[in-house]
C-alpha cells in the first residue's frame, strides 16, 4: 500500500482550521479556486458523499468515513475512480494544536497502485495536491 503526506503549519487556532476541514461539504470554500470546479453532496454526517469535479482531473465521489470533532480527525474514501491513477484511496485529514494560536494540518493518503502504475509518481502527485489544497486553507484562514 502506498502512502503520501502533506503538512502545513498555520498561525491560527486549531479550532479555526478544524472548522473549515471538518465541514465535509465546504471544501470549495477554502480550496484554491480552479475555474470550472463543482461540488455537490448527498446525505449528511458520516456516510455522506460529496461529488467533486475538478478541471483536468474529472469527477469522483468521496464518502465521509469518520469526522471526529473532539480529536480533529476526518477520514474519507474515494468510491469512484482514484486520484492520479490510484485505486482504493483513503485520506485522513487532521489538525494538531501547536499552542493557543497555531496548529499543524496534515493530509495523509493511503492507496494502491494498480499494475503498471508507478507508486512513486502517484505519491509525488498526491503530495503536490495536498500542498496546493493546504496552502489554500492557510490563505483562506489568514494564517
- Higher confidence at residue 10 or residue 85? 10
Q: Is the pLDDT of residue 72 over 80?
A: yes
Q: Is the pLDDT of residue 87 over 90?
A: no
Domains and CATH numbers, the chain: 2-141 (3.30.530.20)
Percent of the chain with pLDDT over 90: 79
40 secondary structure, DSSP code = E
- What is the pLDDT averaged over residues 107-129? 94
Could you tell me the CA-to-CA distances from 135 to 21, 32, 40, 61, 131 in Å, in that order? 13, 8, 23, 23, 6
Q: Is the pLDDT of residue 57 over 90?
A: no
Determine the length of the chain.
143
Q: Is the pLDDT of residue 56 over 70?
A: no
State the cell numbers at 59. 469527477
- Higher confidence at residue 50 or residue 82? 50
What digits encode the pLDDT tens for the residues 29-55? 998 878 888 999 999 999 999 998 887
Percent of the chain with pLDDT over 70: 98
Short-list 126, 105, 92, CA closest to 13: 105
Amino acid at each position: 500500500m502506498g502512502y503520501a503526506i502533506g503538512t502545513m503549519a498555520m498561525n491560527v487556532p486549531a479550532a479555526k482550521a478544524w472548522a473549515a476541514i471538518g465541514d465535509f461539504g465546504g471544501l470549495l470554500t477554502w480550496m484554491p479556486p480552479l475555474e470550472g470546479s463543482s461540488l455537490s453532496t448527498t446525505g449528511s454526517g458520516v456516510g455522506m458523499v460529496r461529488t467533486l469535479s475538478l478541471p483536468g482531473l474529472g469527477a469522483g465521489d468521496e464518502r465521509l468515513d469518520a469526522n471526529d470533532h473532539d480529536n480533529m480527525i476526518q477520514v474519507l474514501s474515494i468510491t469512484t475512480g482514484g486520484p492520479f491513477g490510484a485505486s482504493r484511496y483513503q485520506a485522513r485529514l487532521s489538525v494538531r494544536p501547536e499552542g493557543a494560536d497555531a496548529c499543524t494540518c496534515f493530509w495523509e493518503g493511503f492507496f494502491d497502485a494498480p499494475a503498471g502504475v508507478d507508486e512513486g509518481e502517484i505519491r509525488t502527485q498526491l503530495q503536490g495536491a495536498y500542498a496546493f489544497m493546504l496552502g489554500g486553507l492557510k490563505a483562506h484562514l489568514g494564517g
